[in-house]
Amino acid sequence: MTGAGLMDCKKALSETNGDFEAAVDFLRKSGAKIAAKRADREATEGAVIAVTNSSSTLGVVVVLSCETDFVAKNEGFVALAREIANVALENKPATIDDLKKLNIGSVDMGSRLMEEVAKIGEKIDVVKYEIIEGTNVVSYIHGANRMGVLVELSLAPNEANAAAGKDVAMQIAAMNPVAVDRDGVDTSMVEREMEIGRDQARQEGKPEAMIEKIATGKLEKFYKESTLLNQEFVKDSSKNVAQMLDSIEKGLTVKQFKRVQLG
């Protein structure tokens, strides 16, 4: 009934004089103690789940962490991560703290996590959460639940752009762009890239009058390599991502994305 180990259940029943409900509470409390004892342990493994609703207007990414790869690959652990993601999808919490206040079925999420801690003996927690609501949201899970991506496309869902959205999500997973386009790059990052370009030009002995032009050229290269729509499309390097999307459907582009990975 609880998923806890046989000896743990036996001890719980013994400690509570055979009272089933009290024994369940005892196991939960034991789980809380386990969690407290393991609070200083590194929980760098886990499962990343990315899902969208049936109308493709909402997507969430959730990371449920644990300590070992063995647990991360356990079907029950991954199923719990999916369950949490579905709760997020149904309730649209704004933050991770709001998510943790929700129930999983009839049990609050904190208690459900403690049950899992009692069962597996590892520190687990919901450590990352992202949500996108928009016109056309596509989800993708990469590398055996080690990374999740959400992409919002600009046009209403159809079969062709759903496939293109999946390709873009795979591109994001592989190439890790810093923004959708150059307009989305933080000004501090732009200045940092310019300063690096200036320093490189000076170290190469370029004339001072050319420094700014050279740095600007290096910034353009940065935009091409590091912003999604300007990156070469990994499946066809003759096009960038923006050109690929426009060839699928006129006016199709990316409005926003989220890339979430373990660690």
The verdict on residue 175 lying in a domain is no
The verdict on residue 41 lying in a domain is yes
The whole-angstrom separation of Cα 63 and Cα 148 is: 9
pLDDT tens, the chain, 263 aa long:
777 788 888 999 999 999 988 888 888 777 767 677 777 777 789 999 999 999 999 999 999 999 999 999 999 999 999 999 999 999 999 999 999 999 998 899 988 998 888 888 899 999 999 999 999 999 999 989 999 999 999 999 999 999 999 999 999 999 999 999 999 999 999 999 999 999 999 999 999 999 999 999 999 999 999 999 999 999 999 999 999 999 999 999 999 999 999 98
The count of C-alpha atoms lying within 13 angstroms of the C-alpha of 134, restricted to the half-sphere facing its C-beta, is: 18
Q: What is the domain-level CATH number for residue 12?
A: 3.30.479.20
The whole-angstrom separation of Cα 152 and Cα 207 is: 45
The verdict on residue 174 lying in a domain is no
pTM for this prediction = 0.84
The verdict on residue 170 lying in a domain is no
Q: What is the mean pLDDT of the chain?
A: 93
Which structural domain, as residue segments, surrounds residue 67?
6-133
Number of structural domains (the chain) is 1
